[in-house]
Every structure is written in structure tokens, then in C-alpha cells.
Chains A and B, each alone.
Chain A
């Protein structure tokens, strides 16, 4: 096949643009491409009656049957439930009443998000078989909009991990290279969206858990402002960091979904009362004159050369679009990792105290003489190693004699990190940063050394302690693996992040790439 030397992707024959895609057939030749539609395009076809929700859902389910055995993005697949919802969506679409941009669109959620009547495990044996009796608020809203739930995605146990290798059930594989991790902890969700196993996903970001897998899998992911999306029904990891958010193929799709899921929820006391804008209306606006801040501290050392080049190329795209590039400083960048982890250990140990084998979840019954035996054994047998490590460290940093030195100190430095962002946003409108210093690493490569795994989070951990939003989007490839970049904005600046991100996705094609699976 003739390849022009101008084509930057000529070294990578595996990557095809969506309009050139797919010569492999898995059934009806017309159905096979439907699972790669964006939410926006699918909605248009549904409204024009060119496809039905049942056809679309069937195509995605067929793709799941065909590809998920290799990817292993799903813990639970709810085929009948999905087809039933699709049938209802088609009735709604035919009546032309009460149609939303998400009516009939198939999606799935990370398994830490409660779904009524459907197993919710948080990637842990301690919740294997647990069936919530209520829906999370985010699921309720999507249900009301007519979206179609396909199932529950694999994740690092209780969100503790950056690779999906800490799931108690199985590893998820990166669709771009099956020997590599998809990132974590929303690894299943990211892998799923990148390869048509759902048109979008809902994940959760405590310290990069949406953005990092989005970066590793070549998709778009948003960590909203803390409190923008209700956490009711999300099984808490770090109550003051957790943010529920969308994973999609495009910035436009992210905006569509955020319009539906954002907003005050009386069931979540930390949800913000601020009105929800029509995020899609800011898309297509020019970014001329807007200032893009490049943090000094993020570009000092340790970055993979391919990642660095992709980021520099992205800066050029923004400059060509009329943005002013300026330097900013986030002086407490090095402190962000210990601040993040210390608070995580502490809050997670408190949140996971509820898993004690008494009222729900795994309950150890062998050789149990009293209630303490029950609690200790259930936790010992139900929790994985990384979870035990983190909650023990949490108990340590909160214990008498150490609380002031560790937890309180971390909360004080957290104020300084928040102040860093406030100061930086006086000089710029948004900050650009890589999502991860390297592309996806190999399965097993970092698992042996917890500290090395923690260090890979350097670019994503500062946002959650500060509560600010961040959008991760694809910006190139390094040695054949996707590279992600982040746009970080001030509190409640999602409109601006979408505006800038959308311009980037109009000027570039990285987000249109899909992996070809062997």
C-alpha cells in the first residue's frame, strides 16, 4: 500500500481513521461500524430514523461478545436489560416526544457506581455478588434521559490503582496493545470506549482515574469540578477527592453527557448548587486571545521523549489557533503526591470501615466465634493486597501521635496547592499538562513496587485536592501507544475547557483513531 512520507502515522499501519475503518465482519456488514459512532453522530442517526436503538445496542453487544474476551473490560454485561431499555428508547424516539441527546445511546458504568438489581463489586471480592437496591443519582439521570445501560466495567479494587491490575477479578488489556495496561482505575471504561464496547462510559476520578486510562487508551475523559456531579450511589473512596465523570470519544460528547449528569442533588450534600450551563453552546467558539499556561515544574525531567514531542506539537496547535502561550508556576508540584496519598490513605481507611461482613458483602463464616472474628476475617479474606496496604497506612497516619504530623500537615499543604492553582489562573485561562509521563506500561511491570506505581500519577494528582476540573484528550502517539494531554481549568470552568478542547479536536485527528484488534 502506498504511504506518503508526509503521513505522520505511516509507521503505524494498525491505526486507521474512522472513515476508512474496518474490513472485518462480525455479522451483518452494516451493523459492524455502529459501535464506533460518537454519541453526537449516533443521536443524529437515531432521530433521522436511519438506525434504531435496538440495532445500535445489538451492534455494541455483538462487538462485546466478539472482543471483550480479549480486552476484559466488563465485569457484568446486562444484555437483556439493555435490549429492553433499547426497545423503550425506540418507542420514545418514534413518538418524537421527550427525546434527549442520550435517548437510545448504549453506555456502561464503572463498577463502583450502584445500579439497582445489578451486581456492583467495586472490583473487589468483598462485594462480589452484592446487588444494590438503588441506582446512583448519575444512573438515575441517564435512565431518565433514555440511555441504555450495557453493564459494569472492570476497575482497580476500590479505585486503588493506576493500571486496572488491582482488580480482584482479572486484568483489563489495553486495546492498542494487549500486553499493556489500559490505565486505572477506570481501565475497563476507557478500554471499552476506545474500541466500541460502549459509546460512552461513566467513570470516576479520585487522582487521575478517568484521565490516565483515557490517555492510555486514546479517548477523552473529564474530571469535573468537585461537586459538579452527584456522588450519591458512588461507592466512596476519598470523599473529598472523588469526582464522577464521562469517558467519551470526543469533547463534544463529554459536553453532551455533562449537561445531563451535572447539577445539585439533595442526596449529596457536597453537590454544588450552581446552575448547569448548556455546555454544548460554547463549542465552536474561537479561542483567540485565550491564555494557555505551561507549568514550569511539569516539564523538568522524567518525561518520555515521545510524550514530550506530542505535547510540544499540541502547544503549537493551540498557538496556531490564536491562543497566547505563557509560563506559569505550580511551586508545590512535588508535594502534591504525598499530600494526595496521605489524605487518600486516611479517608479511604475511614470509608472502607463499613465493609465488615455484617450487613452486606462478603461474610466469612468459618471458625467464627464472635463478631470480631467475623469482621477481621471478612476483611482479611475480602480485601486485596493494595487495599490492605492503603487502609493500614491510613490507620497509621490518623493514629494518635501521628495525626498532626501526617494528616493535618497534608491538609495544610493542600491549601497551598489550591492557592497555587488560584495564582496560576490569574495569569492564564487554562493549563496544559501531559496526562502521564510515559505511555501505557506493560502488565506486571510496575505491580511489584507500589511506590513506583504511585509516582506515575505525578501530573494528575494535584487537581483533586484542589477540586479543579481537568479534561484529558488524545494528542498523538509514542512508539505506537497513545499519548494524552490535560487541559486544567479553574473551579467550574468546564465550558472553557470544552471550548479549547473542541478547537483542538477540530484541528487534529488523534481522537478519531481506533485500534485494530488482531
Chain B
């Protein structure tokens, strides 16, 4: 079954922008959401030209690339020194990278 691009009346509204922002871990204010909504709708509409192309018999390119099974011997090699790595960590404690709390109180 061929997959065609959705109906152009599915313009990208502000709620969709907010939803996407949440997926991608950004926080967008109402004003920016408005601007993005217009820009995204325009860009996605331009891309509708792909729906005119018949791809029913075509395999996706990323399933059919040149190299296959690039392996190496399963031998332990040196990785990065932990001290070196921690130099870039914004916060660390001992040999651990430290971040604010992950779990909420209930």
C-alpha cells in the first residue's frame, strides 16, 4: 500500500505545535507557537508535491544502502578516561554525572 502525504487541510495548528514542542523537549510560548504554526503549515504544504509521485513499488533508501554488516572483532578496547569525560559534565559527584531529581514526590 502506498503512503501518501495527508490532506493539506490538516494545517499545523497551535495545539499541534505545543504537542511537538513537548515531544522534542522545548517550551514554546504562545507568541512563538503562533509564528511556528504559520511557518510549519507553509513548509509542509510545499512538501505536498511528494504525494503526486508513485512509490508503490519502491523500497525506502535507508533499507537498501551500500554497506552491510560492518563488524569488528569482539575485543575490549580502551574507551575514554572517566576523568576526561567528567571535565565536560556540568555537575558531578565522585565518578557520577549529577542531575536534578528524576522522580516526583507523591
Chain A positions within 8 Å of B, measured between CB atoms, are 130-131, 133-134, 227, 240, 266, 269-270, 272, 332, 334-335, 337-339, 341-342, 349, 353, 356-361, 363, 365, 368-377, 379-380, 383, 388-389, 391-396, 399, 402, 404-406, 408-416, 418, 450-451, 454, 465, 467, 491
Q: Decide yes or no whether B26 CB sits under 8 A from chain A.
A: yes
Residues 1-42 of chain B, each 1 if its beta carbon lies under 8 Å from chain A, else 0: 001111000001000110011011111100000001001101
Contacts of A240 in B (CB 8 A): 62, 65
The 6 A-B pairs of least Cβ separation, nearest first, read: A363-B90, A411-B60, A412-B55, A338-B47, A414-B61, A360-B88
Contacts of B44 in A (CB 8 A): 393, 396
Closest to B85 in A: A133
Contacts of B24 in A (CB 8 A): 349, 353, 379, 391-392, 394-395
CA distance A465 to B61 in the complex (A): 9
Secondary structure class of chain B's binding surface, majority of residues: loop
Whether A373 pairs with B100 at a CB distance below 8 angstroms is yes
CA distance A416 to B57 in the complex (A): 11
Contacts of A450 in B (CB 8 A): 39, 43
| Further contacts, 13 of them, CB under 8 A, given A133-B85, A339-B50, A374-B99 | A133-B81, A133-B87, A227-B67, A240-B62, A338-B47, A338-B50, A363-B90, A371-B99, A377-B27, A392-B36, A413-B53, A415-B60, A450-B39
CA distance A491 to B67 in the complex (A): 13
Whether A395 pairs with B23 at a CB distance below 8 angstroms is yes
Which one of B44, B47, B89 has the highest number of Cβ atoms from chain A below 10 Å of its Cβ? B47
Whether A334 pairs with B102 at a CB distance below 8 angstroms is no
Contact A376-B27, Cβ < 8 Å, known A335-B49, A359-B88, A371-B99:
yes
Contact A413-B25, Cβ < 8 Å, known A266-B72, A389-B39:
no
CA distance A467 to B62 in the complex (A): 12
CA distance A404 to B100 in the complex (A): 37
Q: Give 26 pairs: A residue, B residue, CB < 8 Å, sorted on A.
A: A130-B88, A227-B66, A240-B65, A338-B46, A341-B47, A360-B88, A360-B90, A363-B90, A371-B99, A373-B100, A374-B99, A379-B26, A380-B26, A383-B26, A389-B36, A389-B40, A392-B21, A393-B43, A396-B44, A399-B23, A405-B4, A408-B3, A415-B58, A418-B61, A451-B42, A491-B66
From B25, B26, B67, give the contact of A270 (CB < 8 A).
B67
Q: Decide yes or no whether B95 CB sits under 8 A from chain A.
A: no
Total contacts A to B, CB within 8 angstroms?
Answer: 164
Whether B88 pairs with A335 at a CB distance below 8 angstroms is no
Contacts of A341 in B (CB 8 A): 43, 47
Contacts of A358 in B (CB 8 A): 89-90, 97, 99
Q: Chain B's nearest CB lies how many Å from the CB of A332?
A: 7
Q: Chain B's nearest CB lies how many Å from the CB of A387?
A: 10
Q: Chain A's nearest CB lies how many Å from the CB of B41?
A: 11
Contacts of A368 in B (CB 8 A): 100
Whether B67 pairs with A406 at a CB distance below 8 angstroms is no
Whether A376 pairs with B61 at a CB distance below 8 angstroms is no
Whether B67 pairs with A380 at a CB distance below 8 angstroms is no
Q: Chain A's nearest CB lies how many Å from the CB of B101?
A: 5
Secondary structure class of chain A's binding surface, majority of residues: helix
Closest to A388 in B: B26
Q: Chain A's nearest CB lies how many Å from the CB of B32?
A: 8
Contacts of A405 in B (CB 8 A): 3-6
From B12, B50, B63, give the contact of A410 (CB < 8 A).
B50
Contacts of B70 in A (CB 8 A): 269-270
From A334, A356, A399, A408, give the contact of B49 (CB < 8 A).
A334
Contacts of B80 in A (CB 8 A): 133-134
Closest to B87 in A: A133
Whether B25 pairs with A356 at a CB distance below 8 angstroms is yes
CA distance A214 to B101 in the complex (A): 48
Contacts of A415 in B (CB 8 A): 58-61, 64
Closest to A332 in B: B53
Closest to B16 in A: A396
From A363, A376, A406, give the contact of B47 (CB < 8 A).
A406
Contacts of B74 in A (CB 8 A): none
Closest to B52 in A: A335
Q: Decide yes or no whether B84 CB sits under 8 A from chain A.
A: yes
Whether B64 pairs with A338 at a CB distance below 8 angstroms is no
CA distance A432 to B79 in the complex (A): 45
CA distance A339 to B36 in the complex (A): 21
Contact A392-B99, Cβ < 8 Å, known A266-B72, A334-B49, A412-B58:
no
CA distance A130 to B85 in the complex (A): 12
Whether A374 pairs with B88 at a CB distance below 8 angstroms is no
Whether B25 pairs with A376 at a CB distance below 8 angstroms is yes
Contact A411-B62, Cβ < 8 Å, known A335-B49, A450-B39, A451-B46:
yes
Contact A379-B25, Cβ < 8 Å, known A399-B20, A412-B58:
yes
Whether A338 pairs with B49 at a CB distance below 8 angstroms is yes
